[in-house]
Amino acid sequence: MMDITVESTVTASQELLAGGEEKRKRAVARVSHDLCTGCGICIKSCPVSCITIVESELNFNGVANIGRQCTGCNICAIDCPWFAIAMLNPDGSLKPPAEYAKQAQRVRGYL
C-alpha cells in the first residue's frame, strides 16, 4: 500500500516543477487526495495514459496518481467531476478555474 500524504504530494510537485536541470514550461496536473474519489474518469480522459489509481486510506477506491509523463493538457482537470485535479503552473501557482472552462470549450469543439 502506497502511503500518500500532503507532504509527499507537495514534494512530488516540487520535483516535477524543478524538472532536473531544465525547468518545466507547462503546467502539470496535481491531485487533491482529500477530494479524489478514485472514480477513474481521469484515467479514461488522459491522452497519454499517465494516471493510475493507487491505494489510499482516504477512501476504499484509492486515489488518482499522476505520473511524470503528464503533458499539462488539462483534460483530466476539465473532466474531474469532483474538482480534485488542479493544474500547477511552472512558477508554483495554480491555474485559474476560468482557464479550464475556456479550454474545455476548445477541447470539446465549441470555439
Q: What is the pLDDT of residue 100?
A: 75
Where the chain has pLDDT below 50, the residues are 1-11, 16-17, 20-22, 111
Length of the chain: 111
Structural domain boundaries in the chain: 6-13+24-108
In this prediction the pTM is 0.70
76, 45 Cβ separation under 8 angstroms: yes
Q: Name the amino acid, one letter, at 98.
A: A
Domain 6-13+24-108 fold: Alpha-Beta Plaits (3.30.70)
* Spatial distance between the Cα atoms of 52 and 23, rounded to a whole number of angstroms: 25
